[in-house]
Amino acid sequence: MERNELERRLHEIREPAPAPGLQARLDQGIPDSARRPEIGWGPRRIPMFAKLTATVAMLGGAAWISVMMLVGPASPPLLAAVLEPIILATEQVGAVHLVVRMLGRDGEDFSFVNLEGEMTEVDAWIEWPRMPGDPGRARVEKRDRIRQFDGTETVVYFPGRNEAYRFEASGVNLELFWPAAWVRYIQNLPTPGVEIVSHDESAGRGRLLLRERGADTTPLEPMFLGGFDRETEIEWDLKTNLLLGLKRWVYHDGQRRLFSEVVSIDYLDALSAETFKLELPDEVRWGGVKLASIDLLDLGPREVADGLFDAARRGDRERVAMLCPSPAMVDWLVDKHNRPTEILYIGEPFRAGEYAGVYVPYKVRFGSEVREYNLALRNDNPENRWVFDGGI
């Protein structure tokens, strides 16, 4: 018997089935949502670590003194006095595990505000550098991707298209996911644009609500967080001074819209090496920037955007693959059912938010649909040439 035939027959074999009542018995054992804390997915604990004791003893008294009500334009000394103990306590931890919900869509940058998006969960495990020269470690999971830096190399994996990228550098901005850095950022906000809406310390928790004015983006509509009028609320534990929560809202057309919120924070001494082991499927497709001919090296972002759409329109897979490091995206772009049919407009590149690359506005017809969006391009690759990074 041929091996293939034997394997086919083995695949067809089914193991014995249980009695019909088993599924109902198992269903009965499912905990209901009210019992979440007992089943491991509930609100995370905030462990008290010995190394924090000294800080807590020193600062706890100050935080307990009284309920302060600072309302009105932010006063730098008072704001600093409220926030400093939180920073001192929070930055002493070695690592954190965060769960954050953010408004957006798959494939979008963290600071991009997509009011049409939905609240998407982000899980982040961050180990802060322990000494000079230590780059730290990070693992960030969003619904559409996992980005992991194990101290040596970064791997980004997209489960939806089973595609991964690898590069020898930290691909995660640790400060984006480090609670002490958030509070430090708030402490350093320029005071003319900041107003303290409320400040309350009661029932073991402190709460501070700040309002910030957005940067002027006229004539364009704001797209990134910094362009919106916004409010930020932080919440902290009055005993430990550890940050417990952070919420941000943006104002659009007079409406307040939740942009991000911390679901939970675990403060930890360290993370296990296991956390930074990313097991990828055997059949994963590795993407990356290919060695290109000289003519590609001199292309600017606008030319690359135009060249990418044009090559896709012609079904020129080889050319598309030179400009797009994602094998799945190349497949999609040159597929005759998806490929662009007409390039209507390619705009001037611009930089925005925390994004390391540039955005190129475009208006392109794909079959009967006209897409008007911003193509994301970046050039932080070994060849320093502009390549596709998202936005279709």
Partner 1 sequence: MGLSEHFLVWRLRQGDPEACRELVRRHHRGVYGYLRRLGADAAQAEDLTQETYAKAWLRIGTLRRTASLRSWLLTIARNEFLQWVRVDRPEVAMGDDLVQLPGQGPGADGELLQFESEVELRRAVVALEPALQETVALHYFQGLSLREVGAVMGVPAGTVKSRVNRALGRLRERLETKEAKHGTERAGKALARNP
Where do contacts with partner 1 occur on this chain (CB under 8 A)?
Answer: 1, 3, 6-7, 9-19, 22-23, 25-27, 29-33, 36, 39-42, 121, 123, 141, 143, 146, 157, 159-160, 278-282
User: Which CB, 3 or 336, lies closer to partner 1?
Assistant: 3
Helix (H, G, I), strand (E, B) or coil at 59: helix
Helix axes 327-334, 301-314, angle to 10 degrees: 60
Q: Which residue has the tokens 């390549």?
A: 387
Minimum distance of partner 1 from residue 111's CB (angstroms): 22
Q: Which helix (H) or strand (E) holds 142?
A: strand 137-142
Q: What's the helix, strand, coil split of the chain in %, to 5?
A: 30, 30, 40
User: Which CB, 37 or 129, lies closer to partner 1?
Assistant: 37
Please name which of 131, 163, 129 lies closest in space to residue 331, comparing C-alpha atoms: 163
Minimum distance of partner 1 from residue 267's CB (angstroms): 16
Minimum distance of partner 1 from residue 341's CB (angstroms): 30
Q: Tokens representing 57?
A: 């003893």
Helix (H, G, I), strand (E, B) or coil at 321: helix
Q: Tell me the C-alpha distance between 216 and 102, whole Å.
A: 23
Kindly list the distances between the CA atom of residue 199 and the CA atoms of 161, 212, 262, 280, in Å, as whole numbers in the listed order. 46, 15, 19, 47
Minimum distance of partner 1 from residue 351's CB (angstroms): 31
User: Which CB, 163 or 231, lies closer to partner 1?
Assistant: 163
User: Which CB, 251 or 332, lies closer to partner 1?
Assistant: 332
Minimum distance of partner 1 from residue 136's CB (angstroms): 21
Q: Tokens representing 48?
A: 């008290």
Minimum distance of partner 1 from residue 145's CB (angstroms): 10
User: Which CB, 168 or 283, lies closer to partner 1?
Assistant: 283
Torsion of Cα atoms, 352 then 104 then 176 then 162, to 10°: -100
User: Which CB, 40 or 192, lies closer to partner 1?
Assistant: 40
Minimum distance of partner 1 from residue 35's CB (angstroms): 9
- Under a CB-based contact definition with an 8 Å cutoff, are residues 208 and 241 in contact? no
Within 8 A by CB and 6+ apart from 50, the residues are none
Torsion of Cα atoms, 26 then 29 then 30 then 36, to 10°: -160
Helix (H, G, I), strand (E, B) or coil at 255: strand
Minimum distance of partner 1 from residue 114's CB (angstroms): 19
Q: Tell me the C-alpha distance between 169 and 171, whole Å.
A: 6
User: Which CB, 6 or 58, lies closer to partner 1?
Assistant: 6
User: Which CB, 160 or 315, lies closer to partner 1?
Assistant: 160
User: Which CB, 39 or 370, lies closer to partner 1?
Assistant: 39
Minimum distance of partner 1 from residue 250's CB (angstroms): 24
User: Which CB, 39 or 273, lies closer to partner 1?
Assistant: 39
Minimum distance of partner 1 from residue 18's CB (angstroms): 4
Helix axes 76-90, 179-187, angle to 10 degrees: 170
Dmax over CA atoms of the chain, in Å, equals 83
